[in-house]
């Protein structure tokens, strides 16, 4: 495996230099039979076959979500360009495959869809473990949970406004890193007057996630665009009902094991759906059972086997 060096000072010029010069050069020096880029971009000029994984091209469809012209060029234009030159492109969903064909011009014959595996195993989280984690994050009251990046592709504004329509003491826990320049969520929370009911948890270690999911009343994933969508699977594994939007790859991942709302979603619509999931015990139990069955469809062993087939079919034969 070839890795870039110190990433503490990683910036866009270093990224392009790695993608287009150092990565293919190191592959050539190592006499590699195949270059595999799991991180969205790959070299245009090279002496070895290339398989690229492209998880989504949200910036191509929605360039307005990125804060600068340079980032819009790299993520929205340059990555799709490099995908067109790859020998094979792997996408985690049919939705991303369609975008790569329609928006990036990748040949359908070079595309392969390989779903990802579930990040967490199905398990019953002990109540004592849940209690410890809730105390650690100050979640004494019942809470809704969101896990993921905090940026413009997530409809967190509607989620915060929906919280204001739901009765106290229900609160909202947001687990994920705020991406500078891509969200005004902190300002929105202050303006809404709901600061006392919203917990910004920041990065949450993997060890705490199962209990955090299991303790939530509802996992809400209000995403406008996903290339796959791992957090809903994590919630299903921990027995938490899932509420999300009926867009891009999310129907492929969630299926009938969650509630999917059609866009546009008003705060009143989201609040109503959340309230129903909290109050309707039979619906909650049904979704939890469906979720634990559905998650079995997403197996890392299958992902690895399908990826190996793609690699073997494209590697250089000596």
Within 13 Å, how many C-alpha atoms sit on residue 238's CB side?
29
> pTM for this structure?
0.93
CA distance 56 to 96: 6
Domains of the chain and CATH, by start:
12-117+300-314 (3.40.50.2000), 127-297 (3.40.50.2000)
Q: 10 Å Cβ neighbour count for 141? A: 14
* CB within 8 Å of 312: residues ≥ 6 apart: none
Per-residue pLDDT of the chain (318 residues; tens, 9 = 90+): 666 655 555 577 888 898 899 999 999 999 999 999 998 788 999 989 999 999 999 999 999 988 888 889 988 999 999 999 999 999 999 999 999 999 999 999 999 999 999 999 998 999 999 999 999 999 999 999 999 999 899 999 999 999 999 999 999 999 998 877 778 898 999 999 999 999 999 999 999 999 999 999 999 999 999 999 999 999 999 999 999 999 999 999 999 999 999 999 999 999 999 999 999 999 999 999 999 999 999 999 999 999 999 999 998 765
Residue among 192, 217, 205, 206 at smallest CA distance from 139: 217
Longest alpha-carbon distance in the chain = 67
């Amino acid at each position: 495996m070839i890795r870039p060096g110190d990433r503490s000072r990683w910036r866009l010029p270093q990224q392009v230099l790695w993608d287009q010069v150092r990565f293919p050069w190191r592959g050539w020096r190592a006499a590699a039979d195949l270059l595999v880029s799991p991180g969205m971009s790959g070299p245009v000029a090279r002496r070895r076959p290339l398989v690229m994984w492209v998880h989504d091209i949200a910036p191509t469809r929605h360039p307005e979500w990125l804060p600068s012209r340079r980032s819009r060029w790299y993520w929205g234009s340059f990555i799709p360009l490099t995908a067109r030159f790859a020998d094979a492109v792997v996408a985690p969903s049919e939705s991303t495959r369609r975008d790569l064909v329609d928006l990036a011009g990748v040949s359908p014959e070079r595309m392969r869809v390989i779903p990802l595996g579930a990040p967490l195993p199905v398990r019953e989280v002990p109540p004592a473990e849940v209690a410890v984690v809730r105390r650690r994050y100050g979640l004494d009251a019942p809470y809704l949970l969101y896990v993921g990046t905090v940026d413009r592709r997530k409809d967190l504004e509607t989620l915060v406004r929906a919280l204001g329509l739901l009765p106290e003491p229900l609160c909202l826990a947001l687990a994920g890193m705020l991406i500078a320049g891509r969200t005004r969520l902190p300002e929105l929370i202050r303006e809404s007057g709901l600061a006392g009911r919203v917990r910004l948890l920041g990065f949450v270690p993997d060890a705490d996630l199962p209990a955090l999911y299991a303790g939530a009343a509802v996992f809400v994933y209000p995403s406008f665009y996903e290339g796959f969508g791992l957090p809903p699977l994590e919630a299903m594994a921990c027995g938490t009902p899932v509420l999300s939007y009926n867009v891009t790859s999310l129907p492929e991942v969630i299926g009938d094991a969650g509630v999917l709302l059609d866009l546009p979603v008003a705060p009143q619509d989201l609040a109503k759906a959340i309230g129903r999931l909290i109050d309707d015990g039979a619906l909650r139990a049904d979704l939890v059972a469906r979720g634990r069955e559905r998650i079995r469809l997403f197996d890392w062993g299958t992902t690895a086997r399908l990826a190996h087939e793609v690699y073997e079919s494209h590697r250089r034969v000596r």
